[in-house]
């Protein structure tokens, strides 16, 4: 029987590429995103690989909508084996004291509360079937401090705490949960952020020992490895994939 994965933020970038990579492994895919066009595009691409796929529109900052995408996945496929808890936004790049309260609430709502709600409902469904595997998307800004992204950094540090603490509570029950901490990666979100803050792109590339941004494909390989049975004894870890960017901090 085919495995089933939920990918939030699957309408573009790392989420979309990871969904396609998991499809290559024969995994059925549920794409969750607020972007209907992007989400349906991913579903169409996934189906061409030869697996089943479903798009569910949801705002992950709303607990009821998170519960709905989890319930709908179980109703459609019977179980959830893998969860890529990936949906997130970067914010404007303003210094913290210049950031609107509304922006702070939005970034926290999507990045942190959305992740907490996701783990809450997905893990509950997984444990009913003996366990499963979760990968949370943190960031290089989740393992070091970075200016101009204070709220984003706070949420991504929160992903680290979420990952380690859930592993401490539920590893004994068959749940594996890990986090990835990508550095600057060539995604639509990062491109948009750097277009608004061009100096930060220059600073990022010069500060990465490998002297380039990462690619979604590179991140997708790591996520697929961590989610699948190839990584059974890796649990509660935060794995950096950043060209040694944070290794020098």
Active site residues: 152
For residues 80 and 92, give the distance between their C-alpha atoms in angstroms, rounded to a whole number. Answer: 34
The SS3 assignment for 86 reads coil
Q: 22 CB contacts (<8 Å, ≥6 apart)?
A: 5, 7, 29, 82, 84, 224, 227
For residues 161 and 116, give the distance between their C-alpha atoms in angstroms, rounded to a whole number. Answer: 11
Sheet order of strands, 132-137 included = 53-57, 28-33, 4-8, 82-85, 132-137, 175-182, 238-241
Q: Is 217 exposed, middle or buried (0-12, 13-18, 19+ CB in 10 A)?
A: middle
For residues 32 and 169, give the distance between their C-alpha atoms in angstroms, rounded to a whole number. Answer: 26
Residue 185: both structure tokens together: 């990666």
For residues 63 and 246, give the distance between their C-alpha atoms in angstroms, rounded to a whole number. Answer: 33
């Amino acid at each position: 029987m085919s495995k089933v994965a939920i990918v939030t933020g699957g309408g573009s970038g790392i989420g979309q590429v990871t969904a396609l990579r998991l499809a290559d492994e024969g995994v059925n895919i549920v794409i969750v995103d607020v972007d209907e066009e992007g989400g349906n595009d991913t579903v169409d691409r996934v189906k061409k690989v030869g697996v089943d796929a479903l798009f569910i529109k949801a705002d992950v900052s709303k607990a009821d909508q998170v519960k709905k995408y989890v319930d709908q996945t179980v109703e459609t496929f019977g179980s959830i084996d893998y969860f890529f808890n990936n949906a997130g936004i970067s914010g404007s790049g303003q210094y913290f004291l210049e950031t609107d309260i509304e922006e702070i609430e939005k970034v926290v709502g999507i990045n942190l509360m959305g992740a907490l709600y996701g783990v809450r409902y997905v893990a509950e469904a997984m444990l009913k079937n003996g366990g499963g595997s979760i990968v949370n998307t943190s960031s290089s800004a989740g393992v070091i401090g970075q200016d101009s992204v204070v709220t984003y950094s706070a949420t991504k540090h929160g992903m680290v705490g979420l990952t380690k603490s859930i592993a401490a509570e539920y590893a004994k029950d068959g749940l594996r949960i890990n986090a990835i901490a990508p550095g600057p990666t060539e995604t639509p979100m990062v491109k948009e952020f750097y277009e608004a803050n061009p100096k930060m792109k220059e600073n990022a590339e010069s500060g990465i020992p490998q002297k380039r941004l990462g690619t979604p494909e590179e991140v997708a390989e790591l996520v697929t490895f961590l989610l699948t049975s190839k990584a059974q004894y890796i649990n509660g870890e935060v794995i950096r994939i950043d060209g040694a960017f944070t290794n020098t901090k």
